[in-house]
Amino acid sequence: MSVQSSLCTLPVNVLEDIAVYTLDPLGPPKELLPLLLTCRSLYSALSLPHLYAQIFRFKFDWTSAKRRIGNRANYPSNLAQQLKVYCRTLQAVRSGDIHAATLLDTLWNAFFMMIENDGRNAAQLLNYAGLKAFAKRLVFERLWEDTRYGWPVQKAANSLALWLYWFSTDAEDLTAEDDTQSRAVMDLVRPYVTNPVRYPAFHAAAAHFSFPAALNDDLPPPLVTPHGFIPARNYGTLPQSASADAAIRTHYGQPICVTVPLASQAARLIYLSRSEQTPVPANPGWPETREVAHARGQWWVQPTQVDMREFNAHRAARPLDHGDWDRVFGYDDLAQPALSARFDDDWARWRNCFDMRFNGPVRTPYTPGSLTGTFFGRMLVCLLIHQ
């Protein structure tokens, strides 16, 4: 005579709580397997989307998806599906295989996890999966794998690798790098920083001053050069399938169109974070303060010693705060906004700026006041010496 396990007599909600509380916070829910193999009735009770939605909320950040995509993103069936996606992503990154056939999917999903991070996604990718070493290998071993006329190729895999490399960089990494290591990183990404003709710095072509752009606008025809079309006039389409500049991704059970994040923006952050490790020296002849300059009769625009100390004290490329697992703030907490909120404007651009002809209801991807502050520019100079 078969004896029924006492677990099988418990209500489903209690079984689900037991299942969740037995899980290790980091990594896929492997502890669930023994419970599922106990008996058929327990397997059936623990195979509902509601349980896997609970597990997703326990292991991953989810408030940004509700904020950006809507309530449908948090339906149990969609969270259950996203749990599978993110667990496979963790396993793929942890494997360290930078040549896997599914690499592009892994990079996209890891990118989504980092821009949705409120403390838990980063912990999963950095502490469990080893994203830092994975992204570094990608940049060092594959960024220059394909070249065109001696320049690294502009493609989604390269762009996503650069963004993930930046996302996984912390202040300790920058401090630990010696001058040789920093210069090696800067040399790798320098083309993306210094050649905006080939690697655009903005989602819209600089030749356009108003949007939506018309196909028959009064612009000179583009020139064909080794760097591509000059000026760049990629109008894109509302794609039915993936294109060079936009991709169709299934995210939280919903197909979304998202533009490839710009490689040049991530490269600038990587480059400047190393460059800023060395303070910009002040000219010894500059006055100490603005008042001293005026007392000397120097009313023209020039830096002071105080200006340079202020400049060196504030970094343009600061590594991201990856958050705290136990301090996950809600999407509507105005006193302590979620960490992921810093990418909301970027998300609006990535979701809406792939077709310059589109004339629909798009939220302005810019928060007024975000550029407020004191500015002192940096200039990168590339010298070409002919013998």
Instruction: Give CA angle at 325 (117, 96), nearest 5°.
Output: 60
Q: Which residues on adjacent β-strands are paired with residue 268?
A: none
Buried b (16+ CB within 10 A) or exposed e, 355-367: bbebeeeeeebee
Parse the chain into domains and list their residue ranges: 97-276+315-352
Which pLDDT does position 334 carry in this prediction? 46
Average pLDDT of each block of 10 consecutive residues along the chain (387 residues)? Answer: 60 73 88 76 74 92 91 92 96 96 96 96 96 97 89 91 97 92 94 86 72 59 66 44 66 91 94 90 90 92 88 85 72 64 90 70 71 68 48
Reported as type and span, the H/E element at residue 229 is strand 228-230
Report the Cα 189 to chain-centroid distance in Å.
17
Report the Cα 193 to chain-centroid distance in Å.
17
Smallest CA-to-CA distance from 46 within 38, 56, 34, 36 is with 36
Which pLDDT does position 281 carry in this prediction? 87
pTM of the full structure: 0.86
Which pLDDT does position 230 carry in this prediction? 63
Which pLDDT does position 232 carry in this prediction? 54
Whole-angstrom Cα distance, residue 44 to residue 39? 9
